Structure 1
Amino acid sequence: MAAQPPPTPKWVLDLNSAPSAKPKASSIPDPPGFTAALSAKQRSQSKNAPQASVRKPPTTEETDTLKLKKAWEIAIAPAKQLPMNAIGMYMTGSTLQIFSIFMVFTLFKTPLTAIATLGRTFAPYTTPGTATRLLPAKLVFVVMNLLMLGLGLWKVNQMGLLPTTRSDWLAWEAERTWAERGVPTEWL
C-alpha cells in the first residue's frame, strides 16, 4: 500500500488560486502604489487611455541636491567611526602588544589614505553645479580624518612611544659644565 501524500496546506491553495475580486461596497481605499489585477477589458481600456503616472526625470538641481546630501554623508562618516575606535584604543591598554600596534597602524593608515584619495572619494558627486558647494564637505572630511590621526597620536603617547619627556632626549643633551664646585678639584 502506497502512502498518500499529505494534504496541501491552505496557504498553497490560496497562493495558487486567482485573487478574489474586491467587494464593490468596500469603503477602504487601496493603499498608494497598489495596482489590482486588471481584467482583459480594463487592460485594453488602460492601453488606450493616456498614462498620467509617468515619472519625470529629475532636474539638475534635484540631482545636485541629492549629490550634496550623499557627499555630506561621506564627509561625516569618519566621525561615526571615531567613538568605536576610541573605545577600542582604550580597551587595548597602554602596553606594547601586537593587537594594539596593529590598531594604531590602522588609525594612522586609514585617515592618511582617505585624505590622499580625497579627489577620488568626491569625484562621483562633483558636477559644475556642485563643485564649489562641495568644498565645505571636503573640509569636514579632512578635519574628521585629522581627528582620527589625533586619536592615533593619543594612543601612541599612552603607549609611551612618543618622545615627550626630557629623558627621551638624553642622547642629544650636552654634558653639564659646572661654573663652581662645592668641593675642590683636588679632592675628586
Structure 2
Amino acid sequence: MSHLKPNAAPKWVADLHSPPTPRAKNPGIPDPPGYPSQAVSNSKKRDVTKDTKQRTPPTSEEMDTLKLKKAWEVALAPVKNLPMTAIMMYMSGNSLQIFSIMMVFMAFKTPLMGLFSTSQAFERFETESNKGKMLQVKAAYVLMQCVALALGVWKINAMGLLPTTRSDWLAWEAQREPLEFAVPAL
C-alpha cells in the first residue's frame, strides 16, 4: 500500500475516463450483413443508411395474425407442463405425505387459477377483427386446463381419496379390505 499515492485513482477509474483505442480490423474477416464498416467515412455512412429499405409498420391484418399466433401459444402452454407434472405425481407415490399433498394442491390450484383468469390471459391479444378466432383459442385454453385438472383427479383417485365405492357412501356397506398394513415401530 505504500507504493500508491494517497489521492491517486485506481486504474479502472482512469480507464473509464479514457477508453482504450479500438483494435484494427483483421482484413480477412468481412463485416456481418447490415453492419457498416468502421473504415467507411461518415458521408458514406449516411449514403448507406439512405440505401437501406425503411421498414414499414405492419398492417392491421398482420398484427391480428401475430396476435392470434401468440394467443395460441398461451392457450397451449398448460399442456406443455403436463408430462413433467405427471412424472412428478407418479414419482411422489400414493401415500399421504407432505410432498404428494403439495403436488395434488398444485395440480388443482394452477388449472383453477388459469380457468378463472381466462379472459385476462387473452385480453391483450383480442381486437375487434379477431373476436371470433379468439373464442376458439379461449375454448382450447379451457380444454387444456380441464385436462390438467383431470391429471389432478387421477392423482387423488390413485391416492384413494375419491369416494368411488359404494361403501364410501352407504353406512351399511362393508368397507374395502386394505391389501397391506403398516405397523409403526415403538
* Structures share fold, TM-score greater than 0.5: yes
Q: 1:95 to 1:55 in 2, by over 3 A?
A: same
Q: 1:78 to 1:21 in 2, by over 3 A?
A: closer
SS in structure 1 at match of 2:169: helix
1:76 — aligned with what? 76
Residue type at the aligned position of 1:39: S
Counterparts of 1:33-72 in structure 2 under 5 Å? 33-37=34-38, 38-43=40-45, 46=47, 50=50, 52-72=52-72
SS in structure 1 at match of 2:95: coil
1:122 — aligned with what? 122
* TM-score relative to the length of structure 1: 0.73
2:160 — aligned with what? 160
- Percent identical pairs in the alignment equals 50
* Cα deviations by residue, 1:7-49 (Å, 9 ceiling, x for unpaired): xxxxxxxx944454786xx8x8643222112324424x539x8
2:103 — aligned with what? 103
1:185 — aligned with what? none
1:145 — aligned with what? 145
Q: Tell me, in whole angstroms, the C-alpha distance in 2 between the residues paired with 1:169 and 1:87.
A: 32
* Cα deviations by residue, 1:92-130 (Å, 9 ceiling, x for unpaired): 111011111111111111111101110000000001122
SS in structure 2 at match of 1:54: coil
Residue type at the aligned position of 1:153: V
Residue type at the aligned position of 1:131: K
Q: 1:35 to 1:97 in 2, by over 3 A?
A: same
Q: Tell me, in whole angstroms, the C-alpha distance in 1 between the residues paired with 2:37 and 2:172.
A: 85
Question: Higher relative contact order at CA 8 Å, sep ≥6: structure 1 or structure 2?
Answer: 1
Q: Tell me, in whole angstroms, the C-alpha distance in 2 between the residues paired with 1:41 and 1:142.
A: 58
1:11 — aligned with what? none
RMSD: 2.8
Q: Tell me, in whole angstroms, the C-alpha distance in 1 between the residues paired with 2:25 and 2:157.
A: 73
Q: 1:172 to 1:124 in 2, by over 3 A?
A: farther
SS in structure 2 at match of 1:162: coil
* TM-score relative to the length of structure 2: 0.73
Residue type at the aligned position of 1:110: T
Residue type at the aligned position of 2:71: A
Q: Tell me, in whole angstroms, the C-alpha distance in 2 between the residues paired with 1:172 and 1:123.
A: 53
The unaligned stretches of length 5 or more in structure 2 are: 4-18, 174-186
Residue type at the aligned position of 2:53: S
* Cα deviations by residue, 1:64-111 (Å, 9 ceiling, x for unpaired): 111111111111101101001100110111101111111111111111
What is the number of residues matched between the two proteins? Answer: 158
Runs of 4+ residues over 6 Å off in structure 1: none
Counterparts of 1:3-42 in structure 2 under 5 Å? 16-18=20-22, 20=24, 30-37=31-38, 38-42=40-44
Q: Tell me, in whole angstroms, the C-alpha distance in 2 between the residues paired with 1:59 and 1:152.
A: 43
